[in-house]
Structure 1
Amino acid sequence: MHRTLVSAMMAGTCLLGLPGCTTNAAPTHTASAHRPAAARPNVVVILADDLDWADVSTYGRADVPTPNIDRIAKTGVAFSSGYVTASVCAVSRAGLLTGRMPQRFGFTYNINDEGDEGAGLPVDQKTLAERLKPLGYRTAAFGKWHQGAERQFYPTERGFDEFFGFIAGETNYVDPKTPGIVTTPTKADKYPITPRTGHHAMVEGPDARPADDFTRYLTDQITDRAVDFIDRSAEDRDRPFFTYVAYNAPHWPLQVPQAYYDRFPQVKDPVRRTYIAMIAAMDDGIGRILDSLEARGLRDNTIVVFLSDNGCPTRFGFCNPDHPWGSGKFTYLEGGVRVPFVLSWPAGLKPQGISDSPVSSVDIAATVLHAASPRSPLPAELDGRDLVETARYPDPDRLLVWGQEPVYAARRGARKLWVSHDWKTSHLYDLNRDPAELEDLSATDPASAADLSAEIERFRAGLPDPRWKLHFTRKTTVNGRETEWVY
């Protein structure tokens, strides 16, 4: 089912899901020839950090204008039921970068900022960059990495020719003493904002040399590097490129240039106002990336994907108060894993409007690899499907399973089951009627509960032991009911 962007406000409540038990069979609806190197699409994957589904205008929300994210959607497809592999940063990113459910290779829990010992994306798991390099791609990553602090996990060891960014899970955007900067305290604040050190500092290149400029807003620095890479890559039209642009916006701490803060005088809460302004700054950066592609004549044959790594941390006071889903980051309710998710490839996909078909971040690798080498079979270990095919031929009943021990969830059709093994409880929801996941239907639909419970157990049974420890679970109350955080 497709609709125009204008009619989309609550489009996504019809479907949900996350990857886990997906298949990646070769598309059956099209047949393409081998692509010469010059015809292989360029790829730009843009990742936001802790961005809520309700905090982009793509799906009809009017309070947070994101015209450049909307530009991507209007030339391609906006998935209203787009999901990630986990509700925390590092685990989600591992799924995006590999095209696999990270729990399948023991990347089960988040990585602490200074790096749990031995924690990182296992070297026996290929990243999308490592798969594209043999196809002739130039590769670069900019922004937040959060895939391990040891040398073996560093981006240029994982298929990227270039890197500028930071290794930790968060960092400060700019020196708060810089003129024209607004810094707004929140419930998430843990310490005063100080100069970036250790894995929070900016580094670049294979030698991880210092590249810190604490007087320039980090969102702008990441954009600068991405645009420069695109401009340089355009000089060699016979070699395609892949760039992974991982903004840390709008993750805490809340900092933004005054000019962006001044755009939103109608927002009276300074915390919420700063958060929205940070999204606007990121959206302007995305606009600069799109402008560079267009100016260089590259936009038509460039796949551009935008999504967030997980939902917004609702307890910290800056998320959208009109959030339509249950809870947010750290949970396996909708708000934890359902994210804004748009894709555009003008040469390969006509505009589709909004699609309700459930998709996942693991689909990105499958999509790109099929576009780059359409006659080659997809690697059997991938968990994803081709998003271009999904946009054309939706599968509303796709089974999706995900979770981090002890909490799991599964989705098929409109039914979703949430399970906590340590609480010894489960809840079944109908996401068509109850997107906030408030009404447990287990007693009235035991067949669906049993079906989805069996799928979760099938998924669990195939998982190895986690490679590093669970940091904590925590009981939290959202919308007057208890749920469980996993970190």
Structure 2
Amino acid sequence: MKTLMKLMAAASVFGIAGCTGAPVPPVAPASKVQAQQEKKTPNVIVILVDDLPWTDVSINKAGTINTPNIDSIGEQGVTFSAGYVAASVCAVSRAALLTGRTPARYGFMYNINDRGNLDAGAGLPTNVPTIAERLKPMGYRTAVFGKWHQGAEPQFYPTRRGFDEFFGFLAGETIYAEPDTPGLVTTPTKADRYEPTKREGGGRLFEGPDMQIVEQPNQYLTETITERTVDFIRRSAASGEPFFGYVAYNAPHWPLQVPKVYYDNRTEIADPVRRTYVAMIDALDAGVGQILKALSDAGVRDDTIVIFLSDNGCPVQFGYCPEYHPWGAGKFTYLEGGTRVPFLLSWPNGLKQRGRVDAPVSALDILPTILKAAAPRQAVPQELEGLDLLATVARPMGPERTLMWSQRPVRAIREGRFKLWHSDDWAQTRLYDIEADPWEVNDLSSAMPDRVRAMKEKVDRFDASLPEAMWPLKSTREMVIGGRKTEFVY
């Protein structure tokens, strides 16, 4: 297995390159940047990782993990401290990124559960265009590598949704390699639902338009996703055509498996569960480094938009989330730790500002940003709900933004520094000042009834506008995260 651990050990951790709303000089003079943009359609690489919390990317300076390669994206561009996703669970969040629309607006309200064929027929509606379907007519080569989780039936298959190439799995989770693989560490947790053994169903690996099954029981999947992406970059750069790569790592999602070389490098962590999880992030960071190097080696790094984010927060039940931080856990819930994720963007030839941006942004913004960068003179389709991230970076102190979530029976809304949370099940409405109270423990609803009324009316109207869910809610329950009681929705 290939690793970059020696290089990583020698690398220094990057810090935050700037402050909110304070741009540093551009990489090149504005006239030169403009000339390059007019001549070159940008390539795009979106790196989406799985269940990685806000705390566990070191550029956010909230923990002890070092992620120098991931950090370098923010160092070369911007780090969004208030980056959100449109749902706190995998499939719904991914649908939002891929379509630029809140998935609940087209009935995609709940996660897809593939085991036991529980959600047969569930998937991203074929009449809702993906990023790839919008970029193909613009001359882009398109590919996705890794986790799909947008439907396992043929009509939902990636090469039928605008992607030229696909390698990965269709389900919500799979093993990284079979546990008897030499040099692999597999660590059980207190919440394992089944023993990770062999791939089956949608957890098998597929490639190509014919859904060819790929048998690779003993190759570490994070490394294979990286290798496939690097190969795509090299081939696409050589063609001279613009390309879009959607790199959907399943790391560090359960099951906890990592090459021993990464595990052995984390001797400072006593708990084997946390140690394996952190080592998985190390392997992920090494992969990101290889992707960035491939862009540089191909001579296209400056003309490539790179976006990095997680699909949702960390699932606390397995025992490896950093609960010492208010945003260290929250998957399946609408605490900040469920939807507030690491979110970084770089584009050396197209982004004049660098640093940290505190203005709220959303995964819904990714598609409008890409379309605007690819075709600056064309209007962004009206049905898309997000904003251009480059405009936000240029004007971070712009109008106050409203973000809303609805995954019945829970819904939430953020306006400025205030966040309202409501549960129909519990008949409870809570209001928090998330700037003064990031732990969301001081309920201000009785002290600010007018604000509660206005915000709840807004999110209730949003919820009332949504259609019925296309497949059912599985379960809800009380969950305690960092001492806070909230409602789990699945």
Could you state the TM-score of these two structures normalised by the residue count of structure 1?
A: 0.92
Alignment deviations for residues 424-453 of structure 1 (CA, whole Å, 9 cap, x no partner): 111000011110101100011112211210
Task: Give the distance between the partners of 1:192 and 1:117, measured in 2 at CA.
Answer: 23
Contact 2:326 2:482 in 1 (8 A): no
Match of 2:245? 243
| Superposed displacement of residue 324, structure 1 | 2.4
- Contact kept, 8 Å, 1:164 with 1:203, in 2: the verdict is yes
Deviations 1:454-473 (A, max 9, x none): 11012112211111111111
- Tell me which residue corresponds to 1:315: 317
Asked if 1 retains the 8 angstrom alpha-carbon contact of 2:353 and 2:394, the reply is no
Residue 408 of structure 2 is aligned with which of 405, 408, 414? 405
The answer (yes or no) to whether the contact 1:75–1:351 under 8 Å persists in 2 is no
- 1:428 pairs with 2:431: yes
The structural deviation recorded for 1:351 is: 4.3
Instruction: Report the counterpart of residue 138 of structure 2 in structure 1.
Output: 135
Does the 8 A contact of 1:35 with 1:374 survive in 2?
Answer: no
Question: In 2, Cα distance between the equivalents of 1:264 and 1:474?
Answer: 35
CA 1:96–1:211 in 2, change beyond 3 Å: closer, same or farther? same
* Conserved? CA contact 1:313–1:329, under 8 Å: yes
Task: Name the CA distance, whole Å, in 1 between partners of 2:321 and 2:274.
Answer: 7
Give deviations 1:71-123, integer Å, cap 9, x for gaps: 10001000010000100000000000001100010000000024512210000
Contact preservation (8 Å) 1:97, 1:127: yes
Aligned to 2:286: 284
Q: How far apart in 1 are the matches of 2:422 and 2:261?
A: 45
8 Å Cα contact 1:261/1:274 also seen in 2? yes
Provide the C-alpha distance between the structure 1 equivalents of 2:281 and 2:353, rounded to a whole number of angstroms: 25
How do 1:62-211 residues align onto structure 2 when only pairs under 5 Å count? 62-114=63-115, 115=117, 116-211=119-214
Do residues 449 (structure 1) and 449 (structure 2) align? no
Q: Distance in 2 between matches of 1:282 and 1:175?
A: 18
What's the secondary structure of 1:234's corresponding residue? Answer: helix
Distance 1:54 1:35 in 2: 34
Q: What are structure 1's unaligned runs of at least 5 residues?
A: 13-31
TM-aligned CA deviation for residue 403 of structure 1 = 2.0
Aligned partner of 1:20 in structure 2 is none
Matched letter for residue 399 of structure 1: T
- CA change 1:339–1:220 in 2 (3 A) is same
**How many equivalent residue pairs?**
462
Partner-residue secondary structure (3-state), 2:467: coil
Q: Which amino acid aligns with 2:163?
A: F
Read off the aligned partner of 2:335 and give its amino acid letter. L
Q: What aligned pairs does 1:262-277 form with structure 2 within 5 A after superposition?
A: 262-277=264-279
User: Secondary structure of 2:302's partner?
Assistant: coil
User: Does the aligned pair in 2 maintain the 1:8–1:60 contact within 8 Å?
Assistant: no
1:322 shift after superposition: 2.3
Tell me, yes or no, if the aligned pair for 2:54 and 2:328 is still in contact at 8 Å.
no
Does the 8 A contact of 1:326 with 1:334 survive in 2?
no
Deviates more, 1:445-454 or 1:129-138: 445-454
1:187 positional shift: 2.0
Aligned pairs for 1:295-314 within 5 A: 295-314=297-316
Matched, 1:481 2:476: no
Alpha-carbon distance in 2 for matches of 1:155, 1:422: 37
* Separation in 1, partners of 2:278, 2:371: 34
What is the CA distance between 1:126 and its match in structure 2? 0.3
**Residue deviations 1:369-420 (CA, integer Å, cap 9, x gap):** 0000011100000011011111111137211111201100000111000000
Match of 2:367 in 1: 365
Partner SS for 2:88: coil
C-alpha distance in structure 2 between counterparts of 1:481 and 1:437, whole Å: 8
- What SS is found at the alignment partner of 2:108? coil
DSSP-derived class of the 2:480 partner: strand
Letter in 1 for 2:439: A
- What SS does structure 1 have at the residue aligned with 2:309? strand
**TM-score normalised by L of structure 2:** 0.91
Q: Is the 8 A contact 2:102 2:364 kept in 1?
A: yes
| Alignment partner, residue 466 of structure 1 | 469
Following the alignment from structure 2 to structure 1, what is the Cα–Cα distance between the partners of residues 352 and 338? 30
Q: Give the Cα separation in 2 of the matches to 1:279 and 1:41.
A: 28
Indicate the residue corresponding to 1:22 in structure 2.
none
Letter of the structure 2 residue corresponding to residue 138 of structure 1: R
Deviations 1:270-327 (A, max 9, x none): 1001000000101100000000000011000100000000000012101113222385
Indicate the residue corresponding to 1:259 in structure 2.
Answer: 261
Residue identity opposite 1:300 in structure 2: D
Looking at structure 2, the residues matched to 400 and 475 of structure 1 have their Cα atoms a distance apart, in angstroms, of 24
Give distance in 1, aligned partners of 2:16 and 2:209: 47
Match of 1:21 in 2: none
- One-letter amino acid matched to 2:40: A
In 2, are the aligned partners of 1:332 and 1:403 still within 8 Å (CA)?
A: no
Partner residue in 2 for 1:24: none
1:7: Cα distance to partner?
Answer: 6.2
Q: State whether residues 323 and 481 of structure 2, in contact with CA within 8 Å, keep that contact through their aligned partners in structure 1.
A: no
**Matching residue of 1:228:** 231
Find the counterpart in structure 2 of residue 378 from structure 1. Answer: 380
**Distance in 2 of aligned mates of 1:341 and 1:174:** 28
Task: Specify the alignment match of 1:15 in structure 2.
Answer: none
Instruction: Name the counterpart of 1:41.
Output: 42
- The answer (yes or no) to whether the contact 2:42–2:242 under 8 Å persists in 1 is yes
What letter is aligned with 2:341?
V
CA distance in 1, matches of 2:353, 2:392: 13
Q: Cα 1:315–1:67, aligned 2, differ >3 Å: closer, same or farther?
A: same
1:338 corresponds to: 340
**Greater relative contact order (Cα < 8 A, sep 6+):** 1
* Cα 1:276/1:139, change in 2 over 3 Å: same
The one-letter amino acid paired with 2:69 is N
RMSD between aligned alpha carbons? 1.9
Counterpart in the other structure of 2:11: none
Structure 2 residue ranges without an equivalent (≥5):
1-13, 21-33
CA contact 2:17–2:75 (8 Å) conserved in 1: no
